[in-house]
Amino acid sequence: MSTGEVPEAGQPTLTELVDRARAGDAAAWNAVVDRFASLLWSVCRRHRLSDPDAEDVCATVWLRLVERLDSIRTVEALPGWLATTTARECLAVIRHRKRQVPTDAADVERPDGSPEMAAGLVAAEESSALRLAFAELPDRCRRLLALLFTDPPPGYSEVSASMAMPIGAIGPTRQRCLDRLRRSPFLARLRSGELRGPGEVLA
């Protein structure tokens, strides 16, 4: 998939979009989501996830990217990172579903130390940390970020109406909410690199 570094005439490059998103430009963030939403969805489809599970996976991946946005070193690696991270999230969901299905003792899957299992465990732990961090945000922040993480993201007018928030306040409010999310103690291990797993090429 294209990295977006050779855009159509007049369109910003992926690097420009990421730089603007870092600065709190919600429109730039939405453009990044639009550009790669189909990539995430196709990975979920390859893993045969249901629509609700695929939506959860995509939301988690976008949330993880937000948490790492300030530490991206190589923008060109972003598509590969998104695909790998989405695949890991899919594996975590699949393994969780398997644990919920009763099986005969002989059919119970035993730990084998495989890379796939390790990736699934890392993804599950990261997802748990992100969900806990998200849950501790104020209700207004959770509602706003949930709207902006919708695939595809709504327009500013729709967000403004849903949140009863002036359009000009959406970007600054989003940035304050993301700053608060990044300061969460639940994400400390992610930032320190203790949970680094396969495909962690951005930070």
For 77-124, the pLDDT digits (tens) are 999 999 999 999 999 888 877 765 554 444 444 444 555 555 555 556
Residue 41 lies in a domain: yes
Burial of 138 (0-12, 13-18, 19+ CB in 10 A): exposed
Task: Please give the pLDDT value at position 202.
Answer: 52
d(CA 196, CA 183): 18
| Confidence (pLDDT) at 55 | 84
User: Do 63 and 105 form a contact (C-beta atoms < 8 A)?
Assistant: no
Please report, rounded to a whole number, the percentage of residues in the chain having pLDDT higher than 70.
71
Q: Is residue 2 part of a domain?
A: no
Output the pLDDT for position 197. 44
Confidence check: pLDDT of 31 > 90:
no
Quote the pLDDT of residue 15: 92
Q: Which residues of 42-65 are buried (b: 16+ CB within 10 A; e: fewer)?
A: ebbeebebeeebbbbbbbbbbbbb
For residue 7, being part of any structural domain is answered with no
Tell me the pLDDT tens digit for each residue of 182-194: 787 777 655 555 4
Three-class DSSP category at 113 = coil
User: Which pLDDT score is estimated for 199?
Assistant: 43
Q: Which domain holds residue 80?
A: 14-192
The pLDDT value recorded for residue 44 is 92
43 and 86 Cβ atoms separated by less than 8 Å: yes
Whether residue 52 is contained in a domain is answered as yes
Q: Is residue 70 part of a domain?
A: yes
What is the domain count for the chain?
1
- Report the pLDDT value the prediction gives residue 13, as an integer from 0 to 100: 92
* Residue 37 located in a structural domain: yes
Average pLDDT score over the chain: 76
Whether 21 shows a pLDDT value over 80: the answer reads yes
The pLDDT tens digits for 152-186 are: 677 888 888 888 888 888 888 888 888 888 787 77
At residue 115, the pLDDT reads 53
Residue 16 has pLDDT above 90, yes or no: yes
For residue 1, pLDDT over 60 is answered with: no
pLDDT tens, residue by residue, 36-66: 989 999 999 999 998 888 888 888 888 888 8
